Chain A
Amino acid sequence: MKLKILFFPLIFVASVSIFSVFIWPDIMEIIKISKENDLAKEKLDLILRKKNVVRSLDQELGMNPDKENFVRNYLPEGKNEEKIINAVNFLAASSGVSLIDISVKKDTINEIEKENIPSPDERIFNFSQDGGEEIQAEMPVYFKSISFEISVAGKYENIKAFLSGMGKLEAMNKIKSASIYREEDKTKKEGEVTPADILSSKILSEFFYLEKIQAGGNYGLRILNSDSFDFSQVDKIKQFISQGTSVLESGEKGNNNPFFAF
């Protein structure tokens, strides 16, 4: 009889213990996993959406090869010294200045931009993150540049036109310094007169190049927010580069004796 009276409290205590030790942690775990699953679904949707964006952008780029080539030409993957020399020579001729000298300086590497770059681990969804929002990342851009020191001679207005044209060359560059001065001609013979309006100019300009970018499967890139390219940005570059240039071709090739020009 007394045992029967004790039975209910015992069972009650046992039930409460089972609930607090097993059931409650399970409920908490269910809630946690449910939230994680919701986040994972969002992430999966995001990846699938970004995959569609990549497909769409790739098709669009494939339909505009001229624009792609133009941009890759303006900011090339390599140094392109031959193109630069050819363009500067063409510019000098069209501006009416004499190209005295072009010398190449050593390369420099400039880190222009590095912000919020997801590490490769972040490519796979991180369950500890709150919210499934998109990572707004930019690709790190490591420019390299090759510096040219250019010497020209000519009239002031022609040198001015040459300097102005330098900025508009079909190769991304930046004029670091430019000087215009009157130089005494030490080689001139007695009685020979150097025209008073002929000036010399020395220009130091950096020409940039950017090695091929590896996106590394980052789907959080800001570039992938839109499913179409803004080609008006390419047109802006085209409009800026008003300067024409001669087409560089190697021409006739082959010589049995390299020590004699043919």
Chain B
Amino acid sequence: MNNLNLYQGLGGNPENKRKMSIIDSEFFWSIGLLVFVLIVLGVTRLILNVFENKKILLEDRIATESATFGGSDLNRIVDFQVRVNESNKNIKNKTDMFKVFSDIESSMTKGSAAVSLLYSDERKTPSVVETEMLAGDFSVVARQILGFKENNSFKDVFVQEISRSEEGIKFKIFADFK
């Protein structure tokens, strides 16, 4: 009984020693991994904080710069440029009235005379031309309709309200002005 050896130290057999060494290294790596993860967490939090502060600073700067942007200088510039643009658009889209009546003149055929001429841009695009004419006979009426149809400035030419009166044959020619 006196010879009982209760000591179970590390310095036992080599098998046990190797097992203990592996366990210790696993323990070390475990603690190392945990510390590393915690360090990464700390660094990411720090970076996040820096980025968020930067974002707030940029937002404030943008808000300040936006608030001071504009005013009377900007209004004056924009107002001027808009007026220039719209004036040019208006000029570009203007119908040359001289051309309208010159084209009517060049479409007039021998033997017919205008009673009234009307140009209108009120209802539709393109603008319309309405001419009330007086002719001596129907061949003149026909030639006059053809005169308008042959002019490239007019399209959709049609005639209406042909009537004979004391003065001659009255008729109306309608056309779109291109």
Contacts and interface: CB of A to CB of B under 8 A. Distances in A.
A30 B91 contact: no
B75 interface: yes
B24 to A, nearest CB: 8
A23 B44 contact: yes
B95 interface: yes
Given A164-B97, A215-B70, A47 B65 contact: yes
Interface residues of B, number: 65
Contacts of A213: 75, 78-79, 82
Contacts of B34: 11, 14-15
A167 interface: yes
A11 to B, nearest CB: 4
B44 A40 contact: no
B17 interface: no
A234 interface: yes
Interface stretch (A83-91, A185-193, A218-226, A253-261): A218-226
B23 A1 contact: yes
B116 A233 contact: no
A160 B33 CA distance: 96
Interface string B58-94: 1101110111011101111111111111111011001
B26 interface: yes
Contact of B97 (A68, A112, A167, A240): A167
Interface in A187-222: 204, 208, 210, 212-219, 221
A42 B62 CA distance: 10
Contact of B62 (A47, A51, A161, A177): A47
B30 interface: yes
Contact of A33 (B45, B55, B132): B55
Contact of A125 (B52, B62, B101, B120): B62
Interface string B39-66: 0110011011001101100110111011
Contacts, number: 214
Contact of B58 (A18, A41, A172, A224): A41
Contacts of B48: 26, 29-30, 33
Interface string A45-85: 00110110011011001000000100110110000000000
B83 A74 contact: yes
A37 B54 contact: yes
A112 B86 contact: yes
A8 B27 contact: yes
B47 A179 contact: no
17 contacts: A8-B27, A8-B30, A30-B44, A33-B54, A37-B54, A40-B59, A43-B62, A47-B66, A72-B83, A75-B86, A160-B97, A166-B97, A210-B82, A210-B83, A217-B66, A221-B78, A223-B78
Interface of A: 1, 4-5, 7-8, 10-12, 14-15, 18-19, 22-23, 26-27, 29-30, 33-34, 36-37, 40-41, 43-44, 47-48, 50-51, 54-55, 57-58, 61, 68, 71-72, 74-75, 112, 123-125, 139, 141, 143, 160-161, 163-164, 166-167, 172, 174-182, 204, 208, 210, 212-219, 221, 223-224, 229, 233-234, 236-237, 240
- 6 tightest CB-CB pairs across the interface, nearest first? A217-B70, A181-B116, A11-B30, A164-B98, A163-B97, A40-B58
